Amino acid sequence: MPIIYHENSRTFHLHNNKMSHIFKLIDGYPVTLYTGKAVHDQEEFDCLFETSARSMSVTFDEERPDYSFEHLKLEYPVYGTGDMRMPAVEAEAENGSRLLDLKYQSHEIIKGKPELPDLPAVYTEKDDEADTLLLHLKDEKTGLCITLLYTVMNEYPALIRSAKITNCGNETILLHTAMSLSLDLPDAGYDMIELTGAWARERSVVRTPLHEGIQSVYSLRGHSGNNFNPFIALCRKNCTENEGEVLGFSLVYSGNFLAETCVDTYNTVRVRMGIHPNTFEWNLTPGESFQTPEAVMVYSSAGFNDMSGTYHSLYRKRLARGYWRDRTRPILVNNWEGTYFDFDEEKLMSIVREAKELGIEMFVLDDGWFRNRNSDHTGLGDWITDENKFPFGLKHFFDSVRNEGLMAGLWIEPEMVSPGTDLFNEHPEWVIHEPKRPMHPGRNQYVLDFSNPEVVDCIFGKLDKVFSEVRPDYIKWDMNRSIGDLYSPTISHQGELTHRYILGVYRLYDKLIRKYPEILFESCSSGGARFDPGMLYYAPQCWTSDNTDAFARQKIQYGTSFVYPLSSMGSHVSAVPNHITGHITPLSTRANTAYFGTFGYELDLTKMTEKEKEEVKKQVVFMKENRQLIQFGSFFRLRSPFETDETVWMVVSEDRRKAIVGYYRETKGRNEKFRRVKLSGLNPDLIYHVSVLNRKLYGNVLMNAGLVLSDESSPECDKEKGDYISRLYILTAE
């Protein structure tokens, strides 16, 4: 069984064939003994229990001077009764006390995985896919009860954790901190991996050795943000893409978050992950509960690629859901970088007709389709079709697109409102801000108060009217500013605002998905500012970044792939010079980069030369032939663009009979060094035909000796001149 409880030793062993997590009850307190590679079960693991009598420590009692919460490894620690480290939970009683004494009451072991009310979560389709431990703790004085949820996935080296906090007492309790996960590890010999950046350079891979003190990533922007992703990993010093021990931590949440490591002066490390405590408070009246988002911990003893592969498969199959979960994505053209706000129906139809000739499957109408929207200064919130651009109505345009044989998509930004719109003028109280204080716009717009159910219902009504008329196949859901001026007149406890806001976003998604289950939703937030697991539960793909430059995108997509599958990455071929970087890259390189995602075009097709159009036709055919492999195969990072001017990655089919290797080189040197790379994921005993080289090689040769990348390795490559070169090597088993 994946979850075993040994009554005599009061020990819990949560495990599958790849990982184990072990803790025991000591005087009713859950104390961690081990987290890591799977070990055989036995009656007790007391040899792993560590404690010591240390000066200045606050101890259990006088009889046990070596027992202190400060030096025990705890499953869900509190502050103030001996543990002087950062807590997993902090709650304030009516008398102002924040002391808690959480002790074991009981536990349940159930098959499957319970849903989390109102929150996105990993799910199971059959009970035998997972087992869940519900560990019930209670503070007798306040009546605060906490149920720790641990789900062991049987097919994945993943342990999923969250907490349900219930006021079972008679007085109101104010919750200040409610982490989804806390994990104490016995040594600090790790590096921390984080995904950092900003707009147009999201999710760069940063690796830093742990040191004494606190290291953290976070968001206080009201959304997960493009500065830090809600993910960290702890890896051993020798860890590489294919070797070494690593623990990944990923939060299934789209709001303010904290992911933190704290190394004490005794060489132990505490990992915390959950809603950021800053500005957060939750009022728990008697009988009320608060459910934290869940954190997904993944263990690997075989390096980063193996960790990422677990996240990819788990999030693709058991977090994303619905009609589009297992379907390949349609090849689209989006008009944004092709026209921006300057278009009318005639102009768009010329792009649609060109798209049809090129084999493209969907046209997406981006920003600017609604009234008074000729710049980003107004229009958001009313969602009324611009009659000047669409004199016969939006439905007529969508019907015209479909008459050409294409699917039709639409851009929205439902969480925002522009000044001067009817919605803004009629309901100024629906904007997040404190009355009689200055309002601070971002991108000339304000954030609607989605913590107010009335606002969510109003926006649903407006969008429902549009959707029911035009029946979009695809929705690009944008969110182009962070939340400031935090105040809502409908909330009595302002610390609840940012979490209630995100719950409102989830609620609107849920209402729309229930009514329109076959719409393909793509989450967008100024590009990749809300690319998080919580969004994947509702929108199975996300616009990876507003930066569509091929070589900038290689870094962005490389970092994103540490957690997120290729099927979730919106990736388009755009015009040159690139609108953000100014780089001029070959059309082939732009496509070779964009293939490794959902794939589409972000340009005016009517401005392409006949030669370029012929190349696009071939690209579309290639993607149609290979998108099942690319979007649902196993992805491997082989060479990092953060370390050299080269990027190499590959994707392998489920049966390992076909693979595609992407090779990208930013600059062309003179008298170049030799280049080769060891491949991954192939069947060592199969012979593969390798395009470009036009050679037949065993899988074990390609994985152990490597694929030669030197330009001189084939006459075709030796002809390549200039910068921004790329190649695709197609490997097909004989």
DSSP, res 729 = E
> Which has the closest alpha carbon to 89: 216, 160, 180, 21?
180
From 366, 478, 549, 604, active-site residue: 478
pLDDT at 719 over 80: no
The second-level CATH assignment, the architecture, of 646-733 is Sandwich (2.60)
CA-based torsion, 24, 26, 28, 31: positive or negative = negative
- For Cα atoms 418, 420, 426, give the angle at the middle one, nearest 5 degrees: 95
pTM over 0.85: yes
Identify the three-state secondary structure at position 530: coil
pLDDT at 717 over 70: no
From 83, 131, 546, 549, active-site residue: 546
User: In this structure, what are the phi and psi dihedrals at residue 315, rounded to the nearest 5 degrees?
Assistant: -75, -30
Q: What is the pairing mode between strands 158-167 and 3-6?
A: unpaired
Amino acid in the structure at residue 348: L
Contact 664, 648 (CB under 8 A): yes
Amino acid in the structure at residue 724: Y
Which pLDDT tens digit goes with each residue over 354-371? 999 999 999 999 999 999
Q: What's the pLDDT band for 473 if we cut at 50, 70, 90?
A: very high
- For Cα atoms 223, 226, 232, give the angle at the middle one, nearest 5 degrees: 90
Q: What's the pLDDT band for 75 if we cut at 50, 70, 90?
A: very high
Contact 349, 395 (CB under 8 A): no
Of the ranges 48-57, 170-179, 630-639, which one carries the lowest mean pLDDT score?
Answer: 48-57
> Which has the closest alpha carbon to 541: 566, 513, 514, 522?
522
Identify the three-state secondary structure at position 409: strand
Amino acid in the structure at residue 171: E
Q: Name the CATH superfamily, with its identifier, for domain 3-318.
A: alpha-galactosidase from lactobacil brevis (2.70.98.60)
Contact 666, 584 (CB under 8 A): no
Which pLDDT belongs to residue 67? 80
Of the chain, the percentage scoring pLDDT greater than 90 comes to 92
Could you write out the DSSP letters of every residue in 241-303?
SSSB-EEEEEE--SSSEEEEEEE-TTS-EEEEEEE-STT--EEE-TT-EEEPPPEEEEEESBH
Among the four given CATH numbers 3.90.1150.10, 3.20.20.70, 1.20.58.100, 3.40.50.1580, the one describing domain 332-632:
3.20.20.70
Task: Tell me how many helices (H) and strands (E) the chain has.
Answer: 13, 39
Residue with tokens 């090689």: 697
Which pLDDT belongs to residue 674? 85
Which pLDDT tens digit goes with each residue over 100-149? 999 999 999 999 999 999 999 999 999 999 999 999 999 999 999 999 99
Q: What's the pLDDT band for 39 if we cut at 50, 70, 90?
A: very high
Give the C-alpha distances (Å, rounded to integers) separating 445 from 209, 381, 420, 422, 482. 41, 10, 10, 14, 10
Q: What's the pLDDT band for 723 if we cut at 50, 70, 90?
A: confident
Q: Answer yes or no: 131 catalytic.
A: no
What are the beta bridge partners of residue 6? 11
Helix/strand/coil (H/E/C) assignment for every residue in 545-607: CCCCCHHHHHHHHHHHCCCCCHHHEECEEECCCCCCCCCCCCHHHHHHHHCCCCCEEECCHHH
Give the C-alpha distances (Å, rounded to integers) separating 356 from 342, 359, 566, 649. 22, 5, 26, 31
- For Cα atoms 302, 306, 309, give the angle at the middle one, nearest 5 degrees: 175
Contact 254, 537 (CB under 8 A): no
Q: What's the pLDDT band for 715 if we cut at 50, 70, 90?
A: low
Which pLDDT belongs to residue 64? 78
pLDDT at 718 over 60: no
Which pLDDT belongs to residue 714? 65
221: number of Cβ within 10 Å: 20
Contact 334, 364 (CB under 8 A): yes
Q: Taking residues 49-68, report their average pLDDT.
A: 80
Domain map (residue ranges) of the chain: 3-318, 332-632, 646-733
Measure the CA–CA gap between 30 and 146, rounded to whole angstroms: 13
Q: Taking residues 318-338, report their average pLDDT.
A: 98
Measure the CA–CA gap between 355 and 226, rounded to whole angstroms: 32
Residue with tokens 């593969």: 688
Amino acid in the structure at residue 190: Y
Which pLDDT belongs to residue 236? 98
Mean residue pLDDT of the chain comes to 96
Contact 256, 123 (CB under 8 A): no
Measure the CA–CA gap between 481 and 196, rounded to whole angstroms: 18
Of the chain, the percentage scoring pLDDT greater than 70 comes to 99
Residues near 69 by beta carbon (within 8 Å), at least 6 away in sequence: 29, 58, 77, 81, 82, 83
Q: Taking residues 484-488, report their average pLDDT.
A: 96
Residues near 236 by beta carbon (within 8 Å), at least 6 away in sequence: 189, 190, 191, 244, 245, 246
Q: Answer yes or no: 478 catalytic.
A: yes
- For Cα atoms 273, 274, 279, give the angle at the middle one, nearest 5 degrees: 125
Which pLDDT belongs to residue 527? 87
Contact 341, 377 (CB under 8 A): no
Q: What's the pLDDT band for 59 if we cut at 50, 70, 90?
A: confident
Token pair for residue 683? 């069947």
Considering only residues 518 and 80, tell me which one the structure prediction assigns the higher pLDDT.
518
Q: What's the pLDDT band for 713 if we cut at 50, 70, 90?
A: low
